[in-house]
Amino acid sequence: MIRLYTGSGSQEVQVVDKVLPDKAWAIEKRSIVRLLTARNCRKAAAILESTLFELCKGTNGFNDEFCVLYYHAQLEQYVTIVEEYEKRDVKIAYQDIAEAVTEANHYIRFIVVELDTDSNVEVAPVESPSLEISSDIVQRALADAEQLIHARGAVSGVDRVHTAFHGYLSAVATKAAIPFPEDSSVTSLFKLLRDKHPALVFREPRARDIDRVLQSMASIIDSLNPVRNRASVAHPNKLVLEEPEAMLIINSVNTLLHYLDARFREVA
């Protein structure tokens, strides 16, 4: 076990059980990421957002009570974290994370990473971005997806990622006062935003090429509904996506979310 951050007091740490259910922690973590971003602690925000830390209770031989941010990491992630930790700005980032989580009423004495020597999982779970424009439905769906991907694999998260993306497009259109029918599909909402939202009107060099990229993205959107309905666990389908294809879908949606959030954030 490697200590990435250590507070004051005894240096002994025993990780016990989780402080919050996965879904509640995922929602709270997104709020903390936004807080760090607002304070311009971008390295800390990026680390917290991209690392599957669990918020756990901690204790020691003195029966002290505190919280621990704990990550049970696959070999590749473990090696990367340990190597990055030697950088000064990364050490500062972990301190910023500890202070922000403590500010959210969870006193963090340690941030630790432990190598997972038992798991055979080859594909690491993928987290979604922290969105500037969102809704309760989007936050719940993203939290569900994160939990399901982590616990059961990517194929279990496809339906919730689809729901989150659908809800996100609806929230963006609502915030921009762009009217749309209540039963609008993901495909129709994406087309509506491409046509009507000022953030997707390009005047920069190579605007035509960028628009062609967006048109290619639209093809991905068109594929989401049949994949979700006929090849995910959203319905009792006999054949479902294999793990690599499910991860491809989730990564594609997350790429779109990152891009659209960056675009819409400019006019939010």
| Inter-axis angle of helices 42-50 and 22-38, nearest 10 | 160
- pLDDT score of 46: 93
Question: pLDDT tens string for the chain (268 positions)?
Answer: 899 999 988 889 999 999 998 889 999 999 999 999 999 999 999 999 989 999 999 999 889 999 999 998 888 888 889 889 889 999 999 999 999 999 999 999 999 999 887 655 455 555 667 787 888 888 888 887 877 777 677 888 888 888 889 999 999 999 999 999 998 988 899 999 988 998 887 766 777 788 788 778 777 877 877 877 776 766 677 777 888 888 888 888 888 888 898 888 877 6
Pinpoint the residues of the chain covered by CATH 1.20.120.
136-265
Does the reported pTM lie above 0.85?
A: no
Q: Within the chain, where are the H helices?
A: 22-38, 42-50, 75-84, 88-103, 136-152, 158-175, 186-196, 207-231, 243-265
Q: Is 198 exposed, middle or buried (0-12, 13-18, 19+ CB in 10 A)?
A: exposed
Q: Are strands 14-18 and 66-73 parallel, antiparallel or unpaired?
A: unpaired
Quote the DSSP letter at residue 238: S
The two three-digit tokens of residue 90, written as one number = 């990364």
The CATH architecture one would assign to domain 136-265 is Up-down Bundle (1.20)
Residue type, 84: E
